């Protein structure tokens, strides 16, 4: 069968299938004919037959209603009022895109076409994901190893189902658990780059997660590290990621996608977003009607590109079954400005499912291809697993990673409102494959199967670098009425694929084997008040195997400037897998006028009309040259680390001529830390003080200052360098930081995802805040003065938990701030809660103490107890709720009780008490001291004697008692009082004081006293004797009398 017959049969089939689409709208749909051109074909079909809503991919709406998206010239509140007056309900509006989403009765579709300033009306539809190691096939190894680019300092936003940032390939940058370098982008306040368009919430209200699995796989392809092995690393493994849920749970409507793109643009600077990757597409394509780039989401991608975000989007997997036809590109893959990506295998042959162009309005798509078949990447929820998926979804993040590497090589290739150098470079450097498959049937490239070919990193990154690898040399001063030569040069790199010229050619201008030139242009401009230049030299500097043609346009004057333009056209063949550098240069002489003046010299560099870095010189005509040197530097003698230290350099011009401008570079141990351009004229024999600042680093350092770029050039450059030594002392911060937990409250009942919030402060600096759930390890919180930390309590059992926070200022940790919360997730077993008590809080070594867990609770039953005594010993898990124990060493011990319930769940944090254990003291006997009576004192037997133990004591502080004994009378007194009174009998007494303490230890002291009879006793005796004497005397007298009578 001839090709002509095949095309005729295909055309007949196409007409039969899609002939209903060409019926006149006013006859079939009732939509006003004057507005029909503003209405999407899909909406026309559904309005005609609402039963086709599901078939045509519309987002669900209430019975009899339809979700619509309208674009207007300039969105105003009056547009919302118009819709509401028709009974519609506005669900979202996007001022950035001049678009509004709403739900309305399907019968009101004709009326809504009269919305003021309407530019497009479409039905709201659902979008879905567009479903070893592939990165080597596009040249990553050379870029990583030879160029040293791995995506550092770039950020890719993944608009998909979300990203599992707990996966080993996506959790951090260096795959070392002890360092803190998260893969997820963090703003200046420590907030994570994550947003859910369906809930319209960002972190911390929405925790980073993947609502499906697709987004994690795509993120791993773009920027995954591949874990510690790196086996399945992504294209830009050191790039950071922002996760955006556009397809919550696997699908999203147009409002979700618009919110996703709008949030990404709004937060571009906050998270330094460079690239946006969308591996998604809309429903079945109606060729020529629904993929013209008119949809709201397609237009939103155009806005994103104009905002400076490289935007890559999948072309779709629509080249299968009845959808296998040209123009099967889905939207938003039909975006005018986004980079649309198709899928190839590792051999760069198109995967059969990859949709084809052109768009409905005739534009060539895709733009480029990338590997998309059987791609291994991170598997969501697995921790460290990888899985193989296929689709243009997998091809798209490859290109996102390529773009990140290009931007790392040269950030200036980012798109603008009028340029997109990333897209142009990809088109110019890709592998332009001319397909042989019958499905395409095309002989030229670019074409609607492969676009401009499969991306090639070596060519793409090299060309990005070429646009900043430029140079301009020459003296900054020209003596009056003399000439100086200036040379402008750049690097141009050619690979085996860079052979199609500007923008990679057009669909009809390249056949395999032909070679279209790349144009390198160098344009110099300066004031036409100076003499017209007339001496030039062009050198193509072509590399091996490269052909070059050079030419120069005639010098002309424009807007008061001379325009000097040199062109170089490069062709030639380069062997597979290699690249060749050429070094085109343009030399030109500038003649100074007969008067002294300084003017700017500006040189522009471009490759295929892509402008590279611009070089600017100030040149001056002169009679005499300046001679600058640094006379002195003034800096503080006492410097502490981390201080911002101001210092002053005194610049002196000792030459005969003036310096019109100059630059000072400041170095610390040879490393540049500040550069200042001084544009104040410095005349001969004048001085100028230049002030700079340095953040001091501990240790001894050599600081140096260099004078460069003097205009006109310095007469003697040998004295342009000044060095001095400084010593920086360590700063010792004695004041610890503070930290507080503000949410949740103490004893609050929580469930599901718990966001712990708090504040922290320090007198100098906050390094970080850490949070943990006892007894787990510390984890970094996000934020500083205001911080957040999330905990998915549904992964834990119900029960009581302790949350702790601490902050660190680089020197000291704060005190730990703790709260207790109660987790109550429905259907979960509650962890038991331990409660510990003891009969004593202070004991002596060897003294028994009883610990009890009887107060522990559970929603069912506590069955086991474990006591940890804090001295290196603990019990086994036992059923007995109490234990008797004694400590063998003195000290302070934290005794902890953990408990287990009848389902085997254990308490999350044990209850504890502190026990003070002391050495049992050695009891010293008390000291007995008799203060009174004194030894040798004499008393009468009727006299109260004062007994005082004043001076007695006990060194242990025990209470003491006093017992007084007499050798004649026995125990006299027993008292706790230090003094007492007693009467003793007549005689000589040995008095003993015994002092006893509470431990029955005692000591004694004895004295001797005498007790005599009282005076009254003596008077009574004399009377008796007198009586007896009287009787004796009487008897004697009587006797004598009787004797006398006898004789």
Q: Report how far apart, in Å, the C-alpha atoms of 10 and of each of 6, 15, 326, 803 are.
A: 6, 9, 11, 68
State the Cα–Cα distance between residues 114 and 107, nearest whole angstrom.
Answer: 14
214 is catalytic: yes
684 is catalytic: no
Catalytic: which of 213, 393, 579, 814?
393
Q: Smallest Cα–Cα separation from 460: which of 499, 491, 427, 490?
A: 427
Handedness of CA 491, 497, 500, 504 (dihedral sign): negative
In 348-497, which residue ranges form alpha helices assigned H by DSSP? Answer: 392-409, 421-429, 457-466
Question: Quick check: 208 and 202 in contact, CB under 8 A?
Answer: no
Three-class SS state of 551: strand
Q: Would you give the distance in Å from CA 415 to the centre of its chain? A: 26
State the Cα–Cα distance between residues 627 and 629, nearest whole angstrom.
Answer: 7
State the Cα–Cα distance between residues 864 and 877, nearest whole angstrom.
Answer: 6
Catalytic: which of 79, 167, 209, 214?
214
Q: What is the dihedral of CA 262, 265, 269, 270, to 10 degrees?
A: 20
Measure the N-to-C terminal CA separation of the chain; round to a whole number of Å. 210
Cβ atoms within 10 Å, residue 591:
17
State the Cα–Cα distance between residues 230 and 233, nearest whole angstrom.
Answer: 5
User: What does the angle CA 797 – CA 798 – CA 799 come to, to the nearest 5 degrees?
Assistant: 115
User: What does the angle CA 659 – CA 664 – CA 667 come to, to the nearest 5 degrees?
Assistant: 160
Name, in order, each residue with C-beta under 8 angstroms of 455's C-beta and a sequence gap of 6 or more: 138, 368, 369, 370, 398, 399, 402, 426, 429, 430, 431
Strands (E), 715-781: 721-728, 738-743, 749-750, 753-761, 768-773, 779-780
Name, in order, each residue with C-beta under 8 angstroms of 42's C-beta and a sequence gap of 6 or more: 56, 57, 58, 122, 123, 125, 283, 286, 289, 290
Cβ atoms within 10 Å, residue 47:
21
Name, in order, each residue with C-beta under 8 angstroms of 249's C-beta and a sequence gap of 6 or more: 161, 211, 212
Query: Left (φ > 0), alpha (ψ -120 to 50) or beta: where does 508 sit?
Result: alpha
State the Cα–Cα distance between residues 261 and 159, nearest whole angstrom.
Answer: 8
Catalytic: which of 134, 137, 160, 325?
160
Read off the tokens for 630.
């640094």
* Beta bridge mates, 520: 568, 607
State the Cα–Cα distance between residues 832 and 898, nearest whole angstrom.
Answer: 9
State the Cα–Cα distance between residues 343 and 391, nearest whole angstrom.
Answer: 7
Q: Would you give the distance in Å from CA 369 to the centre of its chain? A: 32
393 is catalytic: yes
Q: Smallest Cα–Cα separation from 434: which of 508, 338, 537?
A: 508
Tally DSSP H helices, then E strands, for the chain: 14, 61
Read off the tokens for 120.
């497009």
Three-class SS state of 220: helix
Name, in order, each residue with C-beta under 8 angstroms of 688's C-beta and a sequence gap of 6 or more: 650, 651, 678, 680, 682
Q: List the catalytic residues.
A: 160, 214, 393
């Amino acid at each position: 069968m001839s090709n002509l017959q095949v095309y005729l049969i295909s055309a007949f089939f196409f007409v039969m299938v899609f002939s209903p689409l060409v019926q006149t709208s006013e006859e079939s749909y009732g939509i006003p004919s004057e507005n029909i051109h503003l209405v999407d074909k899909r909406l026309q079909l559904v309005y005609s037959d609402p039963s086709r809503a599901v078939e045509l991919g519309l987002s669900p709406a209430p019975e009899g209603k339809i979700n619509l998206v309208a674009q207007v010239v300039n969105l105003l509140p009056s547009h919302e009022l118009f819709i509401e007056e028709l009974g519609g309900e506005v669900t979202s509006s996007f001022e950035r895109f001049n678009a509004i989403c709403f739900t309305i009765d399907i019968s009101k579709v004709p009326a809504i076409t009269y919305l003021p300033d309407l530019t497009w009306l479409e039905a709201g539809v659902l979008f879905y994901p567009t479903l070893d190691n592939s990165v080597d096939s596009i040249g990553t190894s050379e870029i990583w190893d030879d160029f040293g680019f791995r995506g550092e300092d770039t950020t890719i936003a993944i608009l998909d189902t979300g990203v599992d940032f707990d996966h080993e390939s996506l959790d951090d940058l260096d795959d070392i658990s002890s360092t803190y370098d998260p893969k997820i982008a963090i703003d200046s306040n420590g907030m994570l780059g994550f947003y859910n368009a369906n809930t319209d919430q960002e972190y911390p209200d929405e925790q980073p997660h993947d609502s499906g699995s697709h987004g994690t796989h795509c993120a791993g392809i773009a920027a995954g590290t591949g874990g510690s092995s790196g086996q399945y690393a992504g294209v830009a493994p050191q790039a950071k990621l922002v996760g955006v849920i556009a397809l919550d749970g696997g699908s999203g409507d147009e409002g979700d996608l618009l919110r996703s793109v709008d949030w990404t643009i709004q937060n571009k600077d906050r998270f330094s977003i460079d690239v946006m990757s969308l591996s998604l597409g809309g429903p079945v394509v109606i060729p020529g009607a629904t993929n013209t780039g008119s949809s709201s989401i397609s237009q939103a991608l155009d806005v994103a590109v104009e905002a400076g975000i490289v935007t890559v989007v999948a072309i779709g997997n629509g080249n299968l079954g009845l959808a296998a036809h040209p123009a099967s590109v889905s939207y938003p893959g039909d975006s005018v400005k986004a980079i649309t990506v198709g899928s190839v295998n590792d051999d760069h042959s198109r995967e059969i499912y990859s949709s084809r162009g052109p768009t409905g309005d005739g534009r060539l798509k895709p733009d480029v291809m990338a590997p998309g078949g059987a791609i291994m990447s991170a598997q969501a929820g697995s921790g460290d697993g990888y899985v193989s998926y296929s689709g243009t979804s997998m091809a798209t993040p490859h290109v996102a990673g390529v773009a990140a590497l290009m931007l790392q090589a040269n950030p200036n290739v980012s798109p603008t409102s009028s340029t997109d150098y990333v897209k142009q470079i990809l088109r110019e450097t890709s592998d332009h494959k001319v397909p042989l498959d019958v499905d395409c049937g095309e002989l030229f490239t670019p074409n609607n199967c492969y676009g401009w070919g499969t991306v090639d990193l070596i060519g793409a990154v090299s060309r990005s670098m070429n646009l900043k690898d430029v140079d301009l040399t020459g003296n900054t001063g020209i003596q009056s009425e003399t000439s100086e030569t200036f040379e402008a040069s750049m690097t141009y790199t050619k690979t085996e694929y860079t052979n199609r010229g500007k923008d990679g050619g057009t669909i009809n201008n390249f056949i395999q084997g032909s070679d279209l030139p790349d144009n390198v242009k160098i344009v110099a401009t300066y004031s036409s008040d100076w003499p017209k230049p007339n001496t030039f030299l062009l050198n193509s500097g072509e590399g091996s195997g490269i052909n070059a043609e050079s030419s120069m346009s005639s010098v002309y004057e424009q807007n008061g400037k001379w325009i000097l333009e040199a062109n170089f056209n490069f062709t030639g063949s380069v062997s597979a897998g290699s690249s060749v550098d050429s070094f085109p240069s343009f030399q030109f002489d500038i003649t100074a006028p007969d008067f002294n003046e300084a003017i700017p010299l500006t040189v522009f560099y471009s490759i295929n009309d892509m402008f590279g870095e611009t070089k600017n010189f100030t040149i001056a005509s002169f009679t005499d040259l300046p001679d600058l040197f640094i006379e002195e530097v003034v800096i503080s003698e006492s410097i502490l680390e981390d201080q911002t230290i101001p210092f002053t350099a005194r610049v002196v011009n000792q030459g005969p001529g003036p310096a019109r401008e100059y630059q000072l570079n400041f170095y610390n141990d040879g490393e540049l830390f500040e550069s200042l351009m001084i544009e104040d004229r410095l005349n001969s024999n004048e001085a100028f003080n230049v002030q700079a600042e340095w953040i001091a680093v501990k240790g001894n350092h050599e600081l140096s200052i260099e004078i460069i770029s003097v205009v006109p050039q310095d007469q003697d450059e040998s004295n342009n360098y000044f060095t001095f030594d400084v010593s920086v002392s360590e700063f010792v911060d004695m004041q610890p930081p503070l930290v507080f937990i503000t949410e949740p409250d103490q004893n609050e009942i929580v469930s599901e995802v718990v966001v712990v919030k708090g504040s922290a402060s320090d007198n100098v600096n906050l390094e970080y805040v850490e949070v943990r759930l006892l007894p787990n390890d510390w984890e970094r919180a996000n934020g500083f003065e205001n911080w957040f930390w999330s905990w998915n309590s549904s992964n834990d059992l119900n029960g009581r938990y302790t949350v702790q926070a601490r902050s660190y200022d680089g020197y000291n940790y704060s005190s730990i701030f703790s709260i207790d919360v109660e987790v109550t997730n429905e259907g979960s077993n509650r962890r038991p809660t331990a409660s510990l008590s003891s009969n004593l809080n202070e004991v002596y070594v060897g003294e028994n103490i009883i610990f009890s867990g009887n107060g522990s609770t559970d929603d069912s039953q506590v069955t086991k107890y474990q006591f940890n005594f804090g001295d290196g010993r603990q019990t086994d898990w036992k059923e007995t709720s109490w234990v008797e124990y004694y400590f063998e060493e003195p000290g302070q011990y934290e005794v902890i009780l953990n408990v287990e319930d009848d389902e085997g769940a254990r308490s999350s944090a044990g209850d504890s008490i502190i026990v003070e254990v002391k050495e049992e003291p050695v009891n010293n006997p008390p000291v007995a001291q008799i203060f009174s009576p004194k030894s040798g004192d004499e008393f009468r037997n009727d006299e109260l004697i004062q007994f005082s133990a004043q001076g007695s004591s006990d060194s242990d502080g025990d209470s003491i008692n006093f017992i007084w004994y007499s050798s004649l009378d026995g125990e006299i007194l027993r008292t706790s009082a230090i003094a007492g009174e007693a009467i003793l009998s007549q005689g000589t007494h040995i008095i003993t004081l015994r002092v006893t303490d509470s431990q029955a230890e005692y000591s004694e002291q004895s004295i001797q006293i005498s007790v005599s009879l009282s005076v009254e006793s003596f008077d009574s005796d004399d009377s008796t004797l007198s009586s007896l004497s009287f009787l004796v005397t009487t008897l004697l007298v009587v006797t004598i009398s009787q004797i006398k009578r006898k004789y």
